[in-house]
Amino acid sequence: MVSPPDYSRPNGRAGGRSRRSPPLTRQQRLWVSVVAAALGLLFAWVMQGGGRRHRHATRAAVEEADLPGGRAAAQQRVNALLEAAGAGHLVQQPGATQQQQQQQGGGDPDGGAIAAGAAAAAAAAGKAQAQQQLLDAQVQATARQQAKGQQQAALAAEQKPQQASASASAQLPGMEDEREWFNKLSSEACARAEQLRVCSHRGRLAVEGVPPGSLSAYSVLHKGGVSCYDIDFVQTRDGQLVASHPDDLQAALAAGAAGQAAGGPPPLGQWSLAELRAAGADEERFPTADALIKVFAALLEQSGLLWKPGQGQHAPDYEQLPVLLMDLKGEAYNPDTINSVAAAAAAVDAEAHVALFVAAPQQLVLVLNQTRWGGPLIRGYMDRDDANPALPAEELEPFALLGPSIKMADSFFAAAAQLGKPVLAWTVDSPRDLHRALEANLNAAISNRPLAVRGVLLDWRDRCSERQGRLKAERRQRRRQRRALEGQAAARRHSTGRQLRGGEPHA
């Protein structure tokens, strides 16, 4: 028979006697478990508040890692955060609570063990949470560093070809500020650079040794990719058309023998074609309309650009079709002269390529009612008359093209774009004008320096293509980063859900 324990016996410790507490009953143990569970919930709530502080600190560490030389400091901050989460803040509180449990349990080792176990589990969960935050911080920092590296590499790759092309364009006289105006170009205007074409004003090309407006100039322009021309014509006393602006022809006569006469050379209307040739206005430099149309048609025929009916096209496409724009000055605008031009164009199958300028309603009435003109018409607009005239669609129905000044109002170009007719603006001689031509959605830029302007345009096309490629690459990179972050967030949600359901803890 076992004798009952004697609680009055000494515990064997030196320095005094004490009595052991009786063991807890079953009901008391149940109450201890309930209290331990409540304390565990309290600790979980405390850790959630602390977790928010850890997340803020971790985000600050990640942002610090993006700064130059800040990665080491950020790593120290995250390590300190982890140490505080695992060994300091989250362990000290359970330790203090364990002492409280021992006091409430009357020093019972079983009750203290239950409370200590709950506190240890809470501390482990807090430490796992801090470790997961550290892992997330490292992943985000790595992703940001990779994105920065890719952006810097893309920028360096972009600047290298741009600097090479810019050096070629900037060396052209008058084009030194082309990079400044390219940088101001919108994405929409950049996309239109491929469609814009350059035309020559008065047959000018700004090439040394080639007289502007001469027959040889058109061959050089055509080989340089310029196949549309805005040409002025004057009429002689005997009804011949000469390709030249009145001021240019008058200046050539004044520089020759005719300029030595008293009072200078007589007005152009008083000269016959033979007299002009004798005074130095030769056929090469000042060709007749018939000669110029023949040369123009021959260039198109040789390059396969001559449009002829019956080739499967219902109508010519004037957005890209080579065209000779004829601006008849003064007395040259009469039915007989216009009919002679129409006959010269028909003789070489170039009717679709020879367009006639119309600058006033009276001229349109004359062409439609008194001539046999069958080619395209182009409506001209002068900014000094009205920079923003109305554009009624019914009045513009006879015209295939519009030829305004580049100085017209923005609202005019916006309205012209709605009509669906090609717009060929004059004169575009600088990067600033070229920038406006692209922003205004023009079809062609008529220039006194067509080869130089076209050279800048070609450089801009390359840079626009590089810009579009870079933007597409950046969009793809952002999509990849977004998908990666979404995948990481989904994985964290899945792992957290398993933890809450009692599954495996975080790795």
**Same domain for 448 and 310:** yes
Range from 229-238, 415-424, 485-494 carrying the lowest mean pLDDT: 485-494
Residue 306 domain-assigned? yes
**Same domain for 123 and 207:** no
What is the domain range of residue 383? 181-246+287-462
Q: What value does the mean pLDDT take over residues 306-323?
A: 82
Residues 349-358 pLDDT 10s: 999 999 999 9
Residue 266 domain-assigned? no
Say if residues 112 and 118 touch (Cβ distance below 8 Å). Answer: no
The single residue listed with the structure tokens 């940001």 is 144
**Cα separation, 109 vs 273, whole angstroms:** 127
Average pLDDT of the chain, as a whole number:
79
> Is 283's pLDDT higher than 90?
yes
In angstroms, the first-to-last Cα distance of the chain is: 55
Residue 201 domain-assigned? yes
**Same domain for 99 and 206:** no
Predicted pLDDT at 88? 43
The domain boundary, picked from 102, 129, 147, lies at 147
Q: Helices marked H in 15-108 — which ranges?
A: 26-66, 71-83, 89-104
**Cα separation, 446 vs 145, whole angstroms:** 49
Question: CA-CA distances (angstroms) from residue 303 to 213, 307, 315?
Answer: 21, 11, 20
Residue 159 domain-assigned? no
Of 87, 88, 83, 63, nearest to 73 by C-alpha is 63
Q: What value does the mean pLDDT take over residues 315-335?
A: 94
Predicted pLDDT at 144? 62
**Same domain for 318 and 215:** yes
Predicted pLDDT at 41? 74
Highest mean pLDDT out of 31-40, 69-78, 145-154:
31-40
Amino acid at 29: R
Res. 68 pLDDT band, cuts 50 70 90 = very low
Predicted pLDDT at 39? 79
Better-scored residue on pLDDT, 408 or 28: 408
The single residue listed with the structure tokens 């796992």 is 128
Residues 90-133 pLDDT 10s: 434 444 444 444 444 444 545 555 555 555 555 655 665 665 66
Residues 407-427 pLDDT 10s: 999 999 999 999 999 999 999
**Same domain for 457 and 347:** yes
Predicted pLDDT at 188? 93
**Same domain for 211 and 79:** no
Residue 153 domain-assigned? no
Predicted pLDDT at 368? 96
Predicted pLDDT at 30? 76
**Same domain for 292 and 231:** yes
**Same domain for 345 and 303:** yes
Predicted pLDDT at 13? 45
Burial class (CB in 10 A: 0-12, 13-18, 19+), 300: buried
Q: Which two tokens stand for residue 448?
A: 């006194």
**Same domain for 205 and 77:** no
Predicted pLDDT at 67? 47
Residues 173-221 pLDDT 10s: 678 899 999 999 999 999 999 999 999 999 998 888 899 999 999 999 9
Residues 433-489 pLDDT 10s: 999 999 999 999 999 999 999 999 999 999 999 988 887 888 888 888 888 888 888
Predicted pLDDT at 199? 97
Of 134, 126, 109, 111, nearest to 35 by C-alpha is 111
**Same domain for 388 and 309:** yes
Q: What percent of the chain has pLDDT over 90?
A: 50
Better-scored residue on pLDDT, 238 or 260: 238
Residues 71-85 pLDDT 10s: 555 556 556 655 554
Q: Which two tokens stand for residue 99?
A: 């002492």
Which contiguous run of DSSP H or E holds residue 432?
Answer: helix 431-439
**Same domain for 222 and 74:** no
**Cα separation, 232 vs 292, whole angstroms:** 12
**Cα separation, 432 vs 221, whole angstroms:** 23
**Same domain for 127 and 185:** no
**Cα separation, 321 vs 400, whole angstroms:** 12
Burial class (CB in 10 A: 0-12, 13-18, 19+), 131: middle
> Is 2's pLDDT higher than 50?
no
Residue 468 domain-assigned? no
Res. 146 pLDDT band, cuts 50 70 90 = low
Residue 387 domain-assigned? yes
* CATH number, domain containing residue 362: 3.20.20.190
Q: What value does the mean pLDDT take over residues 350-375?
A: 96
**26-66 and 71-83 helices cross at what angle (nearest 10)?**
170
Residue 41 domain-assigned? yes
The one-character DSSP state at 86 is I
Q: What is the count of structural domains for the chain?
A: 2
